[in-house]
Amino acid sequence: MTEVLASRSFRGPAAEDAIESVHNNLDSLWLDVPFVQDMDQMTFTTAVIESASNIVQHAEPAGPDQVELGVDITVQPTLLQARVSAYHAKPPFGPMEPATPGEDAESGRGLALIQALVTTVTFERQDGTNTWVLSRTSQA
């Protein structure tokens, strides 16, 4: 049985306000687990906000219900994990491979940044929900 030392969950409309709420959740989470090193906090926070922002900016509703964002974060002794979900959303459109934009491009760096920040990124689609699972092995 895996020991969960701290956790936070958010669910709400996939709108700009949600990003600030998720960020505030992360800030308060780190206060509960001060042994998680600054570098791990910084990288993981950035990856979670990138993923949540991606959903707010790009997820399209599959039907009449608006897209909702869900972010479930758990801290285990040497593992930080976030399940970042888009509920009531269409499957992601287009390639999910990170782009390599030119140096004057103003967008397109998010996926590559997420991959650089965490140990693994996996994608699941089930019952109309897209979920990105971000895991970062943290320093003990």
Amino acid, res. 49: I
Number of residues that bind another protein (CB under 8 A): 25
The H or E element containing residue 80 is strand 79-87
In the complex, minimum distance from the CB of residue 3 to another protein, in angstroms, rounded to a whole number? 28
Is residue 68 within 8 A of residue 14, CB to CB? The reply is yes
Best CA proximity match to 53, nearest among 14, 96, 100: 14
**Nearest residue to 23 (alpha-carbon basis) of 84, 111, 78, 104:** 84
Q: Quick check: 38 binds another protein (CB under 8 A)?
A: yes
CA distance 71 to 84: 5
Among 107, 126, 127, 140, which residue interacts with another protein (rule: CB under 8 A)?
107
Residues, the chain, total? 140
From the CB of 109, what's the least distance to another protein, in Å? 4
When asked if residue 60 is in the footprint of another protein (CB under 8 A), the reply is no
| Contact call for residue 49 and another protein (CB under 8 A) | yes
Kindly tell me which residue out of 110, 118, 130, 135 binds another protein, with binding defined by CB under 8 A.
110
Residue 56 beta carbon to another protein: minimum distance, rounded to whole angstroms: 7
Question: Which residues make up the interface to another protein (CB under 8 A)?
Answer: 16, 19-20, 23, 38, 42-43, 45-46, 49-50, 53, 56-57, 103-107, 109-110, 112-113, 116-117
